[in-house]
Amino acid sequence: MLYRRLGRTELQVSELSFGAARGYDRDEFPALVEAIIGAGINLIDTATGYGDSELALGRALAGHDDILIETKYCPYDSYRPEATYVGTPEALVASAEESLRRLGREHLDIFLGHGMRSVETLERFMNDGCYEAMVRLREQGKVRFIGISELSEADGTHQVLQRAVPTGAFDVVMLTLNFLLQTAAESVLPLCRQHDVGVVVMMPLNQPSKVSGLVSLPAALECIRRHVAAGNLPAEPPYTETDVLDFLQPYSIPEAGLRYVLSHDVGACFVGMSCLSRLEENLKAVDPPYLDRERKARLQSLFGGIQRQVL
C-alpha cells in the first residue's frame, strides 16, 4: 500500500481507502475489516446515514485506534438532490456525539458536513451556527479535522466546492471523481492544491449498482447508454458501440476506474469492498503510474464533456 499526504492535515493516508457505505454480511464484516487493515488501508469512511455502519465499525475496529475514521453529519432531510435543508448546530453536535459513541472513539479524525448540494445551502451552513459548531468540536478535541462533502448528482460542476475551498474554512473536502464525471480534475483539484486542502474521492466507480456504474463492462455500457438517453453524450458511435471501452484492456472496468482516480493529485480514493475477493481486485490498482497518458487522453476525449452524474 502507498500513502499520500492529506493536505494541511499532514495525515498520511492509504491512497486506496475503505468506503463503508454499502451493506455487508454482519458475521463476515469483522474478518473483512481485519483483511482491509492487513492490506495497509488506514482510512475508513462512514456516516450516520449509512445504516448500522458506525456500530459495525466500532465493534470491528476495537483495538485498532490507529485506524483513521471519517464520518459525517447530513444537514438535509434526505440524500435526494431536492432535499430540504434542516441543519442546526444542535443537531450537528448531537450527530458527532452519537458517532463517537457508536464508533467507540474519543475523537473523530475527520468530520464532514455531508452532501452539500447548492451554494445557497452552503451559505446557510456557514452562517446558521453549524460551521461554528464544527470549529468548537475541533477546539474541544472531539474532532481533529473538519470538512464538507458534495452531492454530485445535484452539483456536477462542483460549484459548492469551488466556493468553499478558497475560504480556508475546511481542512478536507470529499468530492466525486471518476472517468464518467471528470469535472473536478480541472475545477476543484487545482484550488485544493493552492489552498493545501486535503482531497478524498467518493464514487470512483460512479454510483455503482448491479446494473449501472463502473463495476463491470455491461454495467459501464448501461451507464453510457443512460448518459446518451439524458443528452449528455451523442447518440452515435463510438458511444453506441459495445467496444467503446475496449481500449482499457487488459484492465477490468473497476480496475481502470480506480487507476483513473489514483492518477490524479488526490489524497485517498474511497471504494466499497464487500468481500475479500473484491479487496484483492481493488488492490491491483495500487500500481504507479496507475493509468498511462494515452488511455487518460482517450477517456478525456470521450467523456470529459459530461457535467452531471447519471445514476
In Å, how far are 7, 40, 112, 180 from 213, measured between CA atoms?
Answer: 29, 27, 25, 9
**DSSP letter, residue 107:** S
**CATH T-level fold of 3-204+266-278:** TIM Barrel (3.20.20)
Q: What is the pLDDT along the chain (311 residues), one digit of tens a residue?
A: 999 999 999 999 999 999 998 667 777 899 999 999 999 999 999 998 888 899 999 999 999 999 999 999 999 999 899 999 999 999 999 999 999 999 999 999 999 999 999 999 999 999 999 999 999 999 999 999 999 999 999 999 999 999 999 999 999 999 999 999 999 999 999 999 999 999 999 999 998 777 899 999 999 999 999 999 999 999 999 999 999 999 999 999 999 999 999 999 999 999 998 889 999 999 999 999 999 999 999 999 999 999 998 88
DSSP string, 167-187: GT--SEEEEE-BTTB-THHHH
Note the pTM of the prediction, 2 decimals.
Answer: 0.95
In Å, how far are 67, 130, 198, 272 from 5, measured between CA atoms?
Answer: 15, 27, 8, 22
Residue 189 DSSP SS3: helix
> For 104-243, where are the E strands, in sequence order?
108-116, 143-150, 172-176, 198-202
Structural contact between residues 103 and 54, judged by C-beta atoms closer than 8 angstroms: yes
Instruction: Give residue limits of the domains in the chain.
Output: 3-204+266-278
